[in-house]
Structure 1
């Protein structure tokens, strides 16, 4: 086993142990939580190692990095998640490889994703990114729609050919009333998910939690956690 693969295996084992312990503490079964490894800034070779180590869900946040990496790993049975703020001019490319776009936060993006999915003859999973720091009707600093905008977007995704509403996603806010209160933020997201599932029971995916706060996300009820640094290491600074 190469040094890098050994390093990834050890990191992955530690993250797996954290998730298992968090599930046990919350009285949840381990298989209720899916690990998504965020591979941004790391090469396709790392994605291949992760696949060999059993990872099946990977995430990227920049199309210019993700598209070539996904192409280089097209022979692997992976689910690719796009988690970054998405400009409409990148949609066609992203729809070519992504199975799920977790950062749907405006009507214009829904329309663009639908048109590209239909053209590519694909069904694309969509999560509505919720910005818990956003004012009513606005968007958050890191993307996302305010909680009162969820229903409008959900209805748009429901009506859009080629798209499937999967659920909700959030990033723990850095500002506002939830800053530094990850558990409370994730519990708020779960309340919003419960409301959404009342009319759309299949939209049951709740993506929350990263390397530093996955335990709080699991405790709150997240179904998916997005972990990068804890698996791959501290990211190199981008120029």
Structure 2
């Protein structure tokens, strides 16, 4: 199993590099987030031993448990799933990135909690690029208001946007290219909001089946689970 994870990581990195070549980009511009939800801590440690530093979780409780149980200080933890205000307090002392900010109230809660321990949390504003309600994210028209609110915060950095495209089977990623294009265009349109704590540099988009197209459209973070850890046991 350890060999499988290491080989899978190498394969995913090759896919990222190939997409970057086609797009005329440097592979170093794309950060791989290994999404380890429903997978044991041993799998995370195996991937870490193979050189993987960034790990993402979809559920606050699982993220908290894994952060507390893992003593590898180099690991960067990413919350990539739907947020709940009352769960933010369980992650602010260790989480490095929160990708799924869709409302001002989440920024307000992060600021309150992080200020108490003098931490700064990197965040991404999630946009609903698929139009599917279950995917979460704010509407494009609300982004400016969220960014204006964030400008006054001291313990939150807004580093870009996140989006979840419509699920596609392997080989059908072209169908969601317009969704990735839309997220990039929104990011570029709102670069005027860049300030001391807002730098819209990152685009977190693309998963196992569509990461190449996302990279071609400007992704700086891809969130990959199955291609690294295998199918999940629900």
TM-score, normalising length from structure 1?
A: 0.90
| Residue of 50, 54, 58 corresponding to 2:55 | 58
Give the stretch that moved more between structures: 204-213 or 44-53. Answer: 44-53
Q: How many residues align structurally? A: 227
- Does the residue aligned with 2:190 lie in a helix, a strand or coil? helix
Tell me by how many angstroms 1:12 deviates: 0.8
Post-superposition CA distance 1:115-143 (Å, at most 9, x none): 01111211001100000244xxxx94221
Q: Distance in 2 between matches of 1:78 and 1:22?
A: 25
Q: How does 1:8-157 map to 2 (within 5 A)?
A: 8-134=5-131, 140-157=133-150
Which consecutive residues of structure 2, in runs of 5 or more, have no partner in the other structure?
168-172
CA contact (8 A) 2:174 2:213 kept: no
User: Conserved in 2, the CA contact under 8 Å of 1:125 and 1:166?
Assistant: yes
Q: Report the Cα distance in structure 2 between the residues aligned to 1:88 and 1:199, rounded to whole angstroms.
A: 25
* CA deviation profile, 1:154-189 (whole Å, cap 9, x unmatched): 122221231011110000036xxxx98311100110
Corresponding residue of 2:179: 185
- Contact map agreement 1:140 1:146 (CA 8 A) in 2: no
Matched residue, 1:230: 227
Q: Match of 2:159?
A: 166
User: How far apart, in 1, do the equivalents of 2:193 and 2:146 lie?
Assistant: 14
CA shift, 1:203, in A, is 1.8
1:105 positional shift: 0.3
> What do residues 199-221 of structure 1 show as CA deviations (whole Å, max 9, x unaligned)?
31722011000001001100101
Contact 2:147–2:193 (Cα < 8 Å) also in 1: no
Residue 132 of structure 1 contacts residue 140 of structure 1 at CA under 8 Å; is this kept in 2? Answer: no
Partners of 1:91 and 1:185 in 2: how far apart? 29
2:193 corresponds, among 173, 192, 199, to: 199
TM-score, length-scaled by structure 2: 0.92
Give the whole-Å Cα distance in 2 for the aligned partners of 1:27 and 1:133.
Answer: 27
Please, which of 194, 205, 217 is the counterpart of residue 208 of structure 1?
Answer: 205
Q: What residue ranges of structure 1 are gaps of 5+ in the alignment?
A: none
Give the deviation of 1:74 after TM superposition.
3.0
3-state secondary structure, aligned to 2:111: helix
Asked whether the 8 Å contact 2:184–2:203 carries over to 1, the reply is yes
Q: Provide the alpha-carbon RMSD of the alignment.
A: 1.8
